[in-house]
Amino acid sequence: MTTNGTQTSLFERIGGMTAVNAAVDIFYPKVLADASLSHFFTNVDMKTQAAKQKAFLAYAFGAPMKYSGQNMRDAHSRMQLEDSHFNSVAGHLVDTLKELEVPQSIIDEVVEVALSVKSDVLNK
Ligand code: HEM
């Protein structure tokens, strides 16, 4: 809570854009090093991808900004994604946040945000 009684966003509590940037920069090398996931990114420009992911996560965590990328359903609709792929990606995200010493309660909130887009990502 702030002094005027409003709830601070997850984006602010995690440490703003600096924290989101640091997390995504650690996260994608983990995804690419995972043989069960790397093939999905073969023809993807990872610089652009990282920038999109930073913008999306900032927005999803409640940053005061507009997200102008594709929605999660359209962005993943051409891939055959299973639960296992989603869980591995989420696992790399959690490992990243642990490495950055993000408190567990905030990691739990990030996982909630990730789970909120799971059915769209998997097109279910
Ligand atoms: C919480 C889960 C996920 C989130 C929040 C997420 C987020 C995003 C975002 C923001 C984009 C860019 C959208 C745009 O172009 O505007 C994207 C694209 C992409 N995602 Fe995900 N993603 C998730 C899960 C996954 C999983 C499980 C995979 C596969 C292992 C995956 C593979 C990809 C690929 C390959 C692209 C690039 C598509 C292209 O450029 O054609 N994502 N994702």
**CA 45 to ligand 1: nearest atom:** 40
pTM of the model: 0.94
Average pLDDT over residues 51-68: 96
Span of 1-5, 29-33, 49-53, 62-66 with lowest mean pLDDT: 1-5
Q: Is 29 in the pocket of ligand 1 (CB under 6 A)?
A: no
CA of 76 to the centre of ligand 1 (A): 6
**Would you say residue 46 lies in a domain?**
yes
Q: What is the maximal distance between C-alpha atoms in the chain?
A: 48
Domain that includes residue 39, residue range? 10-121
Which are the contacts of 71, defined by CB distance < 8 A and separation ≥ 6?
120
CATH number at residue 18: 1.10.490.10
**Would you say residue 107 lies in a domain?**
yes
**Would you say residue 3 lies in a domain?**
no
**Would you say residue 2 lies in a domain?**
no
Provide the pLDDT for residue 39.
97
Q: Is 23 in the pocket of ligand 1 (CB under 6 A)?
A: no
Distances (CA, A) of 42 to 14, 39, 82, 84: 31, 5, 18, 19
Over residues 72-111, the pLDDT tens digits come to 999 999 999 999 999 999 999 999 999 999 999 999 999 9
Provide the pLDDT for residue 27.
97
